[in-house]
Amino acid sequence: MMHDLNLMVAGPQGSGINFTSDTFAKVMTREGYHVFTNAELFSTIKGDHSYFRVRVCKDMIRSYSERIDILIPLDAKSVILHTKELSKEGVIISEENLSDQRHASIPYREILQAVATKFGKSLAELNVMKNTVALAGASKMIGLDKEKLKKVISENFESKPNIAEMNNAVVDEVYAEFTPTHTFDLEATVYKKRMFINATHAVGMGKVEAGLRFQSYYPITPASDESNYLETVMGKYDFIVEQTEDEIAAINMAIAAANTGLRSATSTSGPGFSLMVEALSYAGMTETPVVIFYYQRAGPATGMPTRHEQGDLRYAISAGHGEFPRVVIAPGDHKEAFYDTIDAFNIAEKYQLPVIVLLDKAMAMSNYTVDPFDLSKVTINRGKLILNETSDYLRYRLTDDGVSPRSVPGVKGALITIAGDEHEEDGHIFTEDADNRVRMMDKRMHKMKFVHEEVPSDTKVKFYGIPTNKKVIVSWGSVKGPILDAMEIVKDVSMLQIRMMEPFPVEEVMKFLKGKRIITVEQNYSGQLADLLREKTGLETTSRIVKFNGRPIAFEEMVEVLSRKKLKEREVLTYA
């Protein structure tokens, strides 16, 4: 019996590798398995080597495995590159006649010829369906009902029914003609309804649930998948997604839409965020409730656009000239991404400040199974928004909590004056009075105190494992997945996930970390969270485990490093 099964589809970008892996993943999701995928793409449209991993298990899984059980290489390069990861009992499904004894020989040519004849096509026209041959071969080895596979294929080609029909004919032919010598006996599971999504879907659904009305973006990997997803549902849920001329326009438009009264957001990655920074400072000064979804990728500069990194933590919490209040939240998985998205809008409107939701490429491009969100838990808080006629209105009125009543254009008796220059309560700027400056700085910065006091502890930190463990891993973002998976094996460590980065939850962190041996795990070069932890709490990290080669942390390397008796001050993970 196998506990978990790992399938890899590898080949040139654009050869249908994601279709193949996604179809397989969807079938397994519907069987009731937990599914975790990892996509490693080259930053190109066609040609370069890419690969997708699909891991399947009856138990919860949150990371990919270094081990491959079924390898589907779509070119010779993939055979050379990935055969070394194939387990002894594994199988390679390939049309080529490989000398490897793990090669499952499926009569590709005969199968495709039979289908070609049936549909009156030439063999060459069916070449694109080789992936389906491999997919059906793998399905048969696992013992899946072919009708379930065919159903997913039909859904994938919903708009092209005859393509679906041909692919499904290929499935039938494989199931009829291919008798595997090797089968995979995966531990059975009990069906439970789950979504198969990545973080861009989770954030997108969170935005819709939160009442988003305006989203702006400029195309950038890995953030634009989210905006493109939103474009598919905006007609139904009544909101606008605006593709702008650059990220400067994107954030300025989001700010203006927010100041016009709409729940408003923009999504980007590091290079785009850099262009947004001036306006971020403006949002702080003008007390604009705008939310920025920041999907980190490997930098600096253009870096590795399709690869993973958590290199922008210190940047996100400090970017922007001058001092202004902001909130930075870093979800660690797709479920958190959904709820945090809604919280981000609530915090932005309640405290009238910019909120950054810090995500990463691993989350954006990793599809996995997630229980449907519990919508009864969702609340919406628009803060001191005024939509009815009023009088004696001042946009920046001084109040006890620093938050002024917020009117928008169109409200009688409450004209707004918004300015990025230092301003008085009425928003006008023709004072550079020293006392006014102090009052207004106090007003804005004071809001952070209330964020600190009022945001629930769960939004700030989460603790996992046995509280009495001496060793505590401190981490953030998507690294949470491999750490939690490794903790199923390595029992003497606990984990503190820091979720709110700004304002930094000092008390909550101290509560869990005082007197502990601290190990940080993060995907950047220097250990930015370890530095931040020391700055904010004075706590020293005994070991910084880092990985910065652009690839997420694998399950096995996480287990291996956490199992070590002794850890160096800095441990660099390198699995690729």
Partner 1 sequence: MLNTVNPPAKPQNYKTSVEIDWCPGCGDFGILNALVLALQELKIPNENVVLTGGIGCSSKIPHYVNVNTMHTLHGRSLAQAQAVKIANPRLEVISASGDGDGLGIGAAHIVAAGRRNVDLTYMLFDNGVYGLTKGQASPTLPYGEMPKSLETENLKFPVNPLFLGLASGFTFVARSYSYNIKHLKETLIRAIKHRGLAMVDIMQPCVTYNNINTKEFYDPRLYDIEKEGWNPAVASENDYKQKVSQAVLKALEWGDRIPMGVFMDYQTETYDQKLQKLVPDYGKKNYVMEPIETSGKPLNDVTELMDSFC
Task: Give the strands of the sheet with 471-475, arranged side by side.
Answer: 461-464, 493-498, 471-475, 517-522, 543-547, 570-573
Shortest spacing between CB 414 and partner 1, in angstroms? 7
CA distances from 384 to 289, 405, 419 (A): 11, 5, 19
Instruction: Give the one residue of 188, 380, 466, 489 binding partner 1; rule: CB under 8 A.
Output: 380
Q: Does 441 bind partner 1 (CB under 8 A)?
A: no
Q: Does 430 bind partner 1 (CB under 8 A)?
A: yes
Instruction: Give the one residue of 187, 237, 322, 323 binding partner 1; rule: CB under 8 A.
Output: 237
Instruction: Give the one residue of 45, 84, 181, 235 binding partner 1; rule: CB under 8 A.
Output: 235
CA distances from 108 to 32, 165, 382 (A): 30, 18, 59
State the alpha helices, DSSP H only, in 53-145: 76-82, 108-119, 130-142
CA distances from 17 to 131, 314, 383 (A): 8, 36, 46
Q: Does 322 bind partner 1 (CB under 8 A)?
A: no
Strand partners, 544: 520, 570
Q: Residue 71 corresponds to which tokens in the numbers above?
A: 């390898």
| Choices 53-61, 103-111, 243-251, 471-479 (CB under 8 A): range interacting with partner 1 | 243-251
What's the CA gap between 332 and 481, in Å, rounded?
A: 8
Three-state secondary structure call for residue 458:
helix
Shortest spacing between CB 409 and partner 1, in angstroms? 4
Q: Does 384 bind partner 1 (CB under 8 A)?
A: no
Three-state secondary structure call for residue 325:
coil
Nearer to partner 1, 86 or 440 (CB): 440
Q: Does 416 bind partner 1 (CB under 8 A)?
A: yes
- Buried b / exposed e over 463-494, threshold 16 CB at 10 Å, is eebeeebebbbbbbbbbbbbbbbbbeebeebb
| Choices 37-45, 403-411, 443-451, 545-553 (CB under 8 A): range interacting with partner 1 | 403-411
Residue 482 carries which side chain, given as an amino acid letter? P
| Choices 50-58, 408-416, 495-503, 559-567 (CB under 8 A): range interacting with partner 1 | 408-416
Nearer to partner 1, 44 or 431 (CB): 431
φ, ψ at 353 (rounded to 5°): -155, 165
What's the CA gap between 257 and 273, in Å, rounded?
A: 18
Instruction: Give the one residue of 234, 275, 386, 567 binding partner 1; rule: CB under 8 A.
Output: 234
What's the CA gap between 246 and 223, in Å, rounded?
A: 14
Closest CA to 131 of 7, 45, 39, 9: 9
What's the CA gap between 36 and 368, in Å, rounded?
A: 4
Q: Residue 456 corresponds to which tokens in the numbers above?
A: 């629930």
Residues 331-360 that bind partner 1 (CB under 8 A): 342
Shortest spacing between CB 259 and partner 1, in angstroms? 6
| Choices 72-80, 159-167, 230-238, 292-300 (CB under 8 A): range interacting with partner 1 | 230-238
Q: Does 421 bind partner 1 (CB under 8 A)?
A: yes
What's the CA gap between 346 and 329, in Å, rounded?
A: 13
Three-state secondary structure call for residue 219:
coil
Q: Does 408 bind partner 1 (CB under 8 A)?
A: yes
Nearer to partner 1, 179 or 391 (CB): 391
Instruction: Give the one residue of 32, 180, 383, 420 binding partner 1; rule: CB under 8 A.
Output: 420
Residues 61-90 that bind partner 1 (CB under 8 A): none
Shortest spacing between CB 74 and partner 1, in angstroms? 26
| Choices 40-48, 380-388, 530-538, 541-549 (CB under 8 A): range interacting with partner 1 | 380-388
Shortest spacing between CB 371 and partner 1, in angstroms? 10
Strand partners, 472: 494, 518
Residues 576 and 67 sit within 8 Å (Cβ to Cβ): no
**Start-to-end CA span in the chain (Å):** 28
Binding mask 14-53 for partner 1 (x = CB under 8 A): ---------------xx-----------------------
What's the CA gap between 531 and 138, in Å, rounded?
A: 47
| Choices 202-210, 442-450, 492-500, 512-520 (CB under 8 A): range interacting with partner 1 | 202-210
Residues 467 and 494 sit within 8 Å (Cβ to Cβ): yes
Residues 249-308 that bind partner 1 (CB under 8 A): 249, 252-257, 259-264, 278-279, 282
Three-state secondary structure call for residue 463:
strand
Q: Does 180 bind partner 1 (CB under 8 A)?
A: no
Nearer to partner 1, 241 or 529 (CB): 241
Give every CB contact of residue 555 below 8 A, 6+ residues apart in sequence. Answer: 61, 63, 64, 65, 66, 482, 485, 486
Shortest spacing between CB 45 and partner 1, in angstroms? 25
Residues 357-376 that bind partner 1 (CB under 8 A): 372-373, 375
Q: Does 415 bind partner 1 (CB under 8 A)?
A: yes
- Polymer length in residues for the chain: 576
Nearer to partner 1, 94 or 266 (CB): 266
Q: Does 428 bind partner 1 (CB under 8 A)?
A: yes
Instruction: Give the one residue of 27, 68, 144, 208 binding partner 1; rule: CB under 8 A.
Output: 208
Instruction: Give the one residue of 5, 25, 41, 197 binding partner 1; rule: CB under 8 A.
Output: 197
Shortest spacing between CB 200 and partner 1, in angstroms? 12
| Choices 233-241, 304-312, 473-481, 534-542 (CB under 8 A): range interacting with partner 1 | 233-241
Residues 319 and 280 sit within 8 Å (Cβ to Cβ): yes
Shortest spacing between CB 5 and partner 1, in angstroms? 21
Q: Does 470 bind partner 1 (CB under 8 A)?
A: no
Q: Does 244 bind partner 1 (CB under 8 A)?
A: yes
CA distances from 346 to 279, 349, 382 (A): 20, 5, 6
Q: Does 152 bind partner 1 (CB under 8 A)?
A: no
User: How many residues sit close enough to partner 1 to count as binding (CB under 8 A)?
Assistant: 74
